[in-house]
Amino acid sequence: MDTTAPLILTLQFDERSFAYFDEQRRRYFPPERNFIPAHLTLFHALPGEQLEKVQRDIEVRASDQKPFSLDVTGLRPLGRGVAYALASVELTDIRRHFALVWNDWLKSQDRQNHRPHVTVQNKVDPTQARALLEELSDSFTPFQVEAVGLELWWYRSGPWEKVRTFVFEQ
């Protein structure tokens, strides 16, 4: 197994919330580029060679974390796409915890201020993205979704490969 590939850490939503975001992604994301399910990325490139430590760190934190709600606060333009913006004190705490634990490994993208979002459209013409942003914004009402765990993935330049799911303690 290639352990030099980067690892991606995402938040796991409850089934209803995931189904909503994934349906939106299937509807609006260009099908020829939509290789992965809807997700909220916490870290984009953790070192694969540190897989065992990364899993232990996630296991410890997930075992001490209860499921929690996130507010879907609005829509966010991505230039060539659209995302739902999310906010949660618990999510901020989890991300801050791991950023401190893994500080020495973080690449620049993961050192930036984290702006939680779920991308439902990307890699389209900016005019098409603006039109979708306007369309979705017209009927948007804030709502809540549930976080039930964390998911760790291998990134090998194509569809992601799931390493493991870490379920929050009920």
Give all strands (DSSP E) within the chain, no chain letters.
7-13, 40-46, 68-77, 82-87, 117-121, 143-154, 161-167
- What's the CATH code, domain 7-167? 3.90.1140.10
- Domains of the chain, by residue range, sit at 7-167
Coil, helix or strand for 170?
coil
| pTM (whole model) above 0.85 | yes
- Residue pLDDT tens, the chain, 170 long: 667 899 999 999 999 999 999 999 999 999 888 889 999 999 999 999 999 999 999 999 999 999 999 999 999 999 999 999 999 999 999 999 999 999 999 999 999 999 999 999 999 999 999 999 999 999 999 999 999 999 999 998 878 999 999 999 86
pLDDT, residue 3, reads 76
pLDDT, residue 159, reads 85
Distances (CA, A) of 138 to 13, 101, 154, 157: 25, 41, 37, 36
Burial class for 124, CB neighbours closer than 10 Å (0-12, 13-18, 19+)? buried
pLDDT, residue 24, reads 97
pLDDT, residue 170, reads 66
**Cα 66-167-144 angle, rounded to 5 deg:** 55
Let me know: does 88 contact 147? Beta carbons within 8 Å.
yes
User: Which residues lie across from 166 on neighbouring strands?
Assistant: 150
pLDDT, residue 1, reads 60
Give me the residue label for tokens 């760190």. Answer: 57
- Span between the terminal Cα atoms of the chain, in Å: 33
